[in-house]
Chain A
C-alpha cells in the first residue's frame, strides 16, 4: 500500500535526511516506524506526502507516485503531524469543517463519533487549547473523512494515558475496517502494543524490518543471574550489566546453548524474561554500531 524504493532525501551537509529507505507496507497492517528524534522518521513521512521532494528513489502509495500523483495520494491519506500547528483564530468546529471539505467524502457521522470518544470541546478557539486537546483536534481532522490510509507521526505525544488508550482503541477499530496505518514513534511500548511489523530507522537508514513477534520472541531474552563465579564475556555473555550482585544481559542465540553455559556456573538465582522492545532496540542499535 505504501512502498518506498531506495528513497533518499539529502538536505545539505548539516541536516541529515534519509538514505536508501526501502519499505513495503501491506494493506491493512499497522506498521510501526521507530527511531530516536532526528533519525529521519518525519523526513520519510513528509516525502511520502510530497511536502518535500525526494533527492533520489521513489515512493508510491496504492501504486500512485508521491511526486506526480500527490493530490490523489493525499485524498487517500489521513495525516496526524508530529507537532500540531493549526489556525489559532479558528473555532474547533469551524476548523474541522474546513479540514473535511477538502474531500468529497461524508464525514459528519464519523466526526461526531470521534468528538464524543475523545471528549473534545469543539466550541473553543484552537489557540486556547492545551497541547493534548490540540492533538485531539489533529486526530479528528485526520480520521473524520474515513481515509483508507493513516499516517501518524508521534500521534500520542501530549495525550494523557487514558486518552492514549482511547486513541489505541480507535486505531485498532480502524485496522478492523481494513485501514492501513503507518505509525511513526519513538516510544517503543506503544509500537509494541499495536503494530504488526516494525521498521527501525537510525541516522537516516532503515536498519531492520520485522514483525513485533519476531523481534520480541524468536530473537532475544533478557537473562538475569546471580552467581559468585567470575564470568568472562563470551558469545553468550555479551554486554553484561552488573547491578547489586546480579548480572543481566540480552541473549539472542539458541536456548540450549544458553542452558549449557549456565550449567557450568554456580547459579544462586536465575530469571529469563522477554526483554522490552526498548532493550531489543538498543541491542540492534549497538550491533549496527559495531558493524
Chain B
C-alpha cells in the first residue's frame, strides 16, 4: 500500500502546490493589507450602521460579530473565505477524482490486476487526501502564525482554529465527493459535481444567514460549522457541528467502501 500512496501522492503533488499557492497568495494579500485599513476600521462603526443588518450578517459583521480593526476579525472577514471556499473546492475535486480518475482513464484495469485489495486501494487514496489537505492547511497556518504575530497579539487557540478548522470542512466535502464519484466517473462530470457541492453548500450558508426562516439550513452546510465568528468570539467549533461533520465524513467513507468493494469495474 505504501507503493500506491507514494505514487498517488506524487501524481497529485503539482495540483496541491498550485491550489496551496492560490490560497496562500489570496489570503496573504489580504493579511498584508491589514495595516492600511487598521485605523480606518477603528472609526467605522458609524459607517457600518448605514448597512442593513442582513448584509452585515453575511459578512460576519453583524451583532456580536467580527471587529475589523483587529487582525483576527479582519482575517475572518477578508481572508478566511479563500481558505474555506477555495480550499473546499480543492478538497471536493481531490476527493471526487482520486478514485474515479482510475476508471475514467482506464488505469484501474492495470491496478486491479495487481495483488492489492480494493479496500487497500481506497484506504491508500484516503490517506493521500488527508495528507494533501493537512499539508495545505499547515502551509496556511505558517502564514497565519506570522501575520497574527506581526499584526496583533498571538492567540494560540484562535490561530490553531483558523489553521485547522477548515480541514474539517474540507474533509466533509472530500468525503461526500468521494462517495459521489462511485456513481459518476467521467472527469468532466466529476469536476462539475465537486464544484457544485463546494459552491452550493456555500450558497446555502449565505441563505441561512440572510433569513431566519432558513436558519435550519445552517446544520447542513459545513461552512457554518467552521465559521469565523465562532472561532474568534467563542474560540471553538460547536460540539454539535463537530459531531455532524464527523458523522457525515464517517458515513460517506464507509458507504463508499461498501459500494466500491462490490462495484463492477467496466472500462
A284 adjacent to chain B (CB < 8 Å):
no
Give the contacts of A28-75 with B (CB-CB under 8 A): 46, 49-53, 70-72, 74-75
Q: Quick check: A102 and B110 within 8 Å, CB to CB?
A: no
- Within 8 Å by CB of A89, from B11, B262, B265, B267, lies B11
Given contacts A71-B116, A75-B115, A102-B116, contact A86 B265 (CB under 8 A): no
* Alpha-carbon gap, A51 to B107, bound state (A): 12
Q: Quick check: B112 and A102 within 8 Å, CB to CB?
A: no
* Alpha-carbon gap, A169 to B175, bound state (A): 49
* Alpha-carbon gap, A87 to B7, bound state (A): 10
Give the contacts of B174-216 with A (CB-CB under 8 A): none
B109 adjacent to chain A (CB < 8 Å):
yes
Count how many pairs of residues, one from A and one from B, have CB atoms less than 8 Å apart in the complex. Answer: 62
* Alpha-carbon gap, A129 to B10, bound state (A): 21
B73 smallest CB distance to A (angstroms) = 44
* Alpha-carbon gap, A101 to B114, bound state (A): 10
Give the contacts of A71-107 with B (CB-CB under 8 A): 71-72, 74-75, 77, 79, 81, 83, 85-90, 98-99, 101-103
Q: Which residue of B lies closest to A83 (CB)?
A: B106
Residues of A within 8 A of B265 (CB): 46, 51-52
B36 adjacent to chain A (CB < 8 Å):
no
Q: Quick check: B105 and A51 within 8 Å, CB to CB?
A: no
A250 smallest CB distance to B (angstroms) = 38
- Within 8 Å by CB of B115, from A46, A87, A102, lies A102
Q: Quick check: B115 and A85 within 8 Å, CB to CB?
A: no
* Alpha-carbon gap, A87 to B101, bound state (A): 10
* Alpha-carbon gap, A79 to B111, bound state (A): 10
Interface centre among A11, A53, A102, by most B CB within 10 Å? A102
Q: Which residue of A lies closest to B110 (CB)?
A: A86
User: Chain A interface mostly helix, strand, loop or mixed?
Assistant: loop
Q: Quick check: B113 and A85 within 8 Å, CB to CB?
A: no
Residues of A within 8 A of B3 (CB): 98, 101-102
Given contacts A102-B116, A103-B115, contact A51 B262 (CB under 8 A): no
B247 adjacent to chain A (CB < 8 Å):
no
Q: Quick check: A70 and B117 within 8 Å, CB to CB?
A: yes
Given contacts A53-B262, A53-B264, A102-B3, contact A72 B110 (CB under 8 A): no
Q: Quick check: B266 and A72 within 8 Å, CB to CB?
A: no
* Alpha-carbon gap, A170 to B267, bound state (A): 28
Q: Quick check: A52 and B107 within 8 Å, CB to CB?
A: no
Given contacts A53-B264, A101-B3, contact A87 B114 (CB under 8 A): no
* Alpha-carbon gap, A70 to B119, bound state (A): 12
Residues of A within 8 A of B7 (CB): 87, 90, 98
Interface bits B102-134 vs A (CB < 8 Å: 1, else 0): 000111111011111100000000000000000
* Alpha-carbon gap, A103 to B115, bound state (A): 7
Question: 9 closest A-B pairs (Cβ-Cβ)?
Answer: A85-B106, A75-B115, A102-B114, A79-B113, A52-B264, A101-B3, A74-B115, A51-B265, A81-B109
- Besides the known contacts A74-B116, A81-B109, 14 further A-B residue pairs in the complex with CB atoms under 8 A apart: A11-B266, A46-B109, A46-B265, A51-B112, A51-B113, A71-B115, A71-B117, A85-B106, A85-B110, A90-B7, A101-B3, A102-B114, A102-B116, A103-B115
